[in-house]
Amino acid sequence: MDINQYLEIFIEEAQDHLQHLNQNLLELESNPDDNDILNEIFRSAHTLKGMAGTMGFDSMMNLTHNMENILDAVRKGTLSISSGILDVLFECLDFLEDSVNYISETGKENEKSIEPLKKKLLNLMSNSINESDQPQSNDKNMDDFKFNQYDENVITQALAQGMKVYKIEVILSEGCMLKSARAFVVFKTLEKYAEIFKSLPAIEDIEDEKFDRSFKIALITNEDKEKIEKDLKNISEIQDIKIEQYKEIATVQNTSKTEVAATVEVSEDHDESEESHAKKNKVGKTVRVDINRLDNLMNLVSELIIIKTRLEGIDSDSRDQNMSEAVEYLERITTNLHDAVMKVRMVPIERVFNRFPRMVRDLSRELNKEVNLIISGEETELDRTVIDEIGDPLIHLIRNAIDHGIESKSERENSNKDTAGNIYLRAYQDGNSVVIEVEDDGKGINIDKIKKKALDNKLITQSEADGLSDKDATELIFHPGFSTADVISDISGRGVGLDVVKTKIESLGGTVEVESYKGKGSKFIIRLPLTLAIIQALLVTVGSEKYAIPLNSIKEIISIEKDKIRDIQGQEVILYRNSVLPILRLAEKLDVKDYNEDENELTVVVVKKGDKFSGFIVESLIGQQEIVIKSLGKYLAGIKNIAGATILGDGQVALIVDTNSMI
């Protein structure tokens, strides 16, 4: 069997399980006595082990098996959760994550040895008395395998029909790697000629490997005890088989009514807990779809919207009533189809946020700081393409917050703050944009230090530094190569500064702003479009050219008188609503030669970037339209002031103005 066809599924599911393990281990660190979390961790580790074993990745399977031994010892109480145990388990997760990444790149497991980690895990085990190494049920008979009233009725009817009823205890070998898989073979073997009507533990628990080395089953059959024993002993990794037969109905009926009632009650409680557990873990029905298929679907919808726009552009006088109604109906359908496709492509930002708690834990320990990460709005959804790109900028901002923002414990005590610093990671939808905030309650940005660094790096002159406002000075941290770190480290700056963040965000059509309050902390605000594929835009003309300006960046449209424009230090401005509005002539910025500006009254589109505004002078307005963003291709990539292009209804190409790069 070619297992390569399942490789992609394995990688995706393995990454999900590793993420769950990271989250649950962090929760276990805060709540070491929570058995539910411990069971979830055990289940994820067990599933990951089974998946790795099936795919033939032995190192991953062996490491997760050793992790299971530690977790099992914790469940039994022979080991207690400590920072040492958690550190080793986190190291194992890092190894597993590297292994999965290597598999995704090469299709095979890396050759890095797991022996150092196995030694650490074995050392942890040697510090405890591992009671699970001895089969706990060897010295016991099977009297603890109780039957309720329903079971008794089944047994009574079976014996009355001359069939045989057996209680069987199966004890697995000490080195059995996949206990649930071995139990599955036992069940399949017996089901060929017997009916299994009860197991201890429940079948669900056996599947989840929530048992030691032994389990019990009760079955009805016509076969002899010898055949059953022979068939079971032919199965590998089974240490011992114990079979007990019921020969008289009275044997079953001797159970007192009180005992039966108790058994039924316990059984009902168990069912109820199982039901609540199922509800807790209930997930919607989903299907995995290749992102390339979704991209193709989006392209088809885009083409449909272009055709719709073309039909709308047909002169209304030449269209009859039926044609007009059909175009209106098509518009509704395409709008609904676009919304549906967009929802399919939308992914909760939680999948990005989930990787940060572990990172914050490791960095705070490395820097000897206490840091709490408070996450909110993780259910906010973004387009898949944006989700894939936003992770690295957020990692950079959080690293900066821990390294530069949050003070040491002694500094915080001297400032009358809690010794534990807080980083707030928020996400929320604002109109057609998603806002992500990274805020800390640290010392804030040192404006004087920024100015000094900028002067040392000759980014500004002394006179410019003296005239800089605090907000403008703060913006210097986004300058390429700018860093306030005295010593370049691997934690945050690494000598590249925050310009990588700004560049990445703006390449996604977003903006980034910063607010800082000395001694109170700082906040980075990222604003991103919901999607990068289809947007609402305002079409304008400049000379003989048509341009599209994204609607979410437009504040308003105004008319101004030409003679009211003033020149201040080479920048054209106008006084508008008691504030100075910078003016940009799109014809000059975009090098349009045939622009005509004879009229005294000019049309100005006021665009915004955060709290900054600028007015773009255009020749005329065409109107609002839903446009499909098309890439300019690799030969035209990086053209200044242009974010892409769109195809209009009449087949013409209109360039999309990159307002962020102009303001």
pLDDT per position as a tens digit, 155-210:
887 888 888 888 888 888 877 777 888 888 888 888 888 888 888 887 777 877 77
- 292-348 matches 350-529 in fold: no
On whether the 534-662 domain is CATH 2.60.110.10, my answer is no
Q: Is 479 a catalytic residue?
A: no
Question: CATH second-level architecture of 350-529?
Answer: 2-Layer Sandwich (3.30)
pLDDT in tens, 338-396: 778 877 878 888 888 988 998 898 888 888 898 999 999 988 888 887 888 888 889 89
What homologous superfamily is domain 292-348 in, according to CATH?
Histidine kinase  CheA-like, homodimeric domain (1.10.287.560)
Residue 240's CB is within 10 A of a number of other CB atoms, namely 16
Q: Model confidence over 494-515: pLDDT tens digits?
A: 344 578 888 888 888 788 888 8
What tokens were used for 185? 């073979």
Residue ranges of domains in the chain: 3-133, 149-276, 292-348, 350-529, 534-662
Active-site choice (24, 66, 148, 400): 400
Catalytic residue list contains 265:
no
3-133 folds as: Four Helix Bundle (Hemerythrin (Met), subunit A) (1.20.120)
Q: Is the pLDDT of residue 491 over 70?
A: no
Q: Which residue has the higher pLDDT, 149 or 580?
A: 580
Residues in Cβ contact with 230 at an 8 Å cutoff, skipping those fewer than 6 apart:
none
Strand partners, 469: none
Handedness of CA 476, 482, 488, 492 (dihedral sign): positive
According to the 3-state scheme, what is the secondary structure of 84-104? HHHHHHHHHHHHHHHHHHHHH
Give domain 149-276's CATH architecture. Answer: 2-Layer Sandwich (3.30)
pLDDT digits (tens, 9 = 90+) for 102-148: 888 888 888 788 888 888 888 877 665 444 444 443 333 445 566 76
Catalytic residue among 40, 68, 169, 619: 68
pLDDT single digits (tens) 281-311: 444 456 667 777 877 887 888 788 878 877 7
Task: List the structure tokens of 629.
Answer: 């963003």
pLDDT of residue 436: 93
- Which of 196, 99, 190 is CA-nearest to residue 154? 196
From 46, 65, 404, 479, the catalytic residue: 46
Catalytic residue status for 69 = no
Confidence of residue 266 (pLDDT cuts 50, 70, 90): very low
Q: Is pLDDT of 530 > 90? A: no
Confidence (pTM): 0.61
The secondary structure of residue 404, as a DSSP letter, is I
